[in-house]
Amino acid sequence: MRVTEPDAAAIARAAELLRAGELVALPTETVYGLGADALNPAAVGRIFAAKGRPADHPLIVHLPDAEHLVRWARAIPKEAIALARAFWPGPLTLILKREEGVPDEVTGGQDTVGLRVPDHPVALALLAAFGSGIAAPSANRFGRISPTTATHVVEELGDKVALVLDGGPCQVGIESTILDLSRDTPEILRPGAVSADDIARVIGRRPAVKGETAAAAEEPAPRVSGALAAHYAPGTPLRLVPAAMLTEEAAALAGEGSRVAVLARSVEDPEDARFLWHAAPADPKGYAHDLYASLRMLDASGADFILVEALPDSPDWRAIADRLGRAAVGSGEADET
């Protein structure tokens, strides 16, 4: 694997590799993506092999700009156009009916496809040079902590990637909002930086939110990335603990001889040498930006348990709480890839 600064020559080389069916890791504003030519089924198959990802798990296709939408989707509703104008480039993925020619390998065999335009200069430069859609899930082993730096990609995938474009740390830090517009009622299938209220301000109606409200459509929701109960997970067992109990639970585990790492948001460090205590930013944007890097650091610390201070139950924290809840479910499981 080669890691390189994303100058013009590197961008051109990355586009050549994609055309040749190779994998290229690229930065986006959310997380680093593992990119392949979305119209090349064999290349897309390399993504699944590198990640250990189930074949029926659909991928998100990244587009050079909103004008490419018609090449990938059909029966595009006016709401999709309005949202693309409002939020692209940006962390919003739209689920639409797929156009003829979009490979089953990308859609997981479904009649829908996830599309977005990323808001990162390196990703946009590569997409412009490539001139077509790049399928790019997060550049990590399936179910594990998403990468937000080039170093994370190297740690996760090693020589499974031909080239890594180093665009620095990702600005947002968690994956995009996924909004389904393929059915009568818009529905958020994965929360992210673009909220239900943000969407409502553009389309004039509030979308349903999977897990909170039920969509009116009888047709089941499409399968999408990051929706499994176990995801974004460290190898170390992770527990979510209310703030009032955080220090007490850490002390109890340490008293049993366990090595304990803590990710706290509001609880002050008790300066107990038995803990590795890491303070997270108190605001949602800062917390999201640092989340995966913090989890990776704590996972690599040699701790027996990671305790994470539970987050406020409010819309600003919903997307981050979603990631932590799935991380807790999937944590502590041995890698199979």
pLDDT tens digits for 224-274?
988 788 889 999 999 999 999 999 999 999 999 999 999 999 999 999 999
Q: What is the pTM of this model?
A: 0.95
Give the rounded percent of residues in the chain with a pLDDT score beyond 70. Answer: 97
Strand order in the sheet with 2-4: 2-4, 163-165, 24-26, 33-37, 134-135, 60-62, 112-116, 92-97, 177-180, 187-190, 208-209
Quick one: which H or E segment has residue 60? strand 60-62
Q: How many CB atoms lie under 10 A from the CB of residue 285?
A: 14
Mean pLDDT of the chain: 94
Give one DSSP letter per residue of 119-186, joined into a string: --HHHHHHHHHH-S-EE--BSSSTTBPPP-SHHHHHHHHGGGSSEEE---S-SS-SPPEEEE-SSSS-
Unique residue bearing structure tokens 């994370």? 152
CA-closest candidate to residue 224, choices 37, 59, 72, 63: 59
What integer pLDDT is reported at residue 337 of this predicted model? 37
Work out the average pLDDT over 306-312: 97
Q: Which domains does the chain have, with CATH numbers?
A: 2-209 (3.90.870.10), 238-330 (3.40.50.11030)
Q: What is the pLDDT of residues 51-79, one digit of tens each?
A: 999 888 999 999 999 999 999 999 999 99
* Confidence at residue 334, expressed as pLDDT on a 0 to 100 scale: 52
Q: Are 120 and 111 in contact (CB under 8 A)?
A: no
Confidence of residue 160 (pLDDT cuts 50, 70, 90): very high
In Å, how far from its chain's centre is CA 185? 24
Phi/psi for 46 (5° steps) reads: -65, -30
Query: In sequence order, which residues have a C-beta less than 8 Å from that of residue 288 and are 6 or more positions away?
Result: 172, 173, 174, 193, 319, 320
Return the closest-CA partner of residue 282 out of 304, 264, 305, 255: 264
pLDDT tens digits for range 94-112: 999 999 999 999 999 999 9
CA distance 28 to 131: 17
Banded pLDDT at 336 (limits 50, 70, 90)? very low
What is the band of 42 on the pLDDT scale with cuts at 50, 70, 90?
A: very high
Give yes or no for residue 323 having a pLDDT over 90.
Answer: yes
Residue 84: its pLDDT value, please? 98
Task: Give the pLDDT band (50/70/90) at residue 154.
Answer: very high
Taking residue 290's Cβ as centre, other Cβ atoms within 10 Å add up to 19
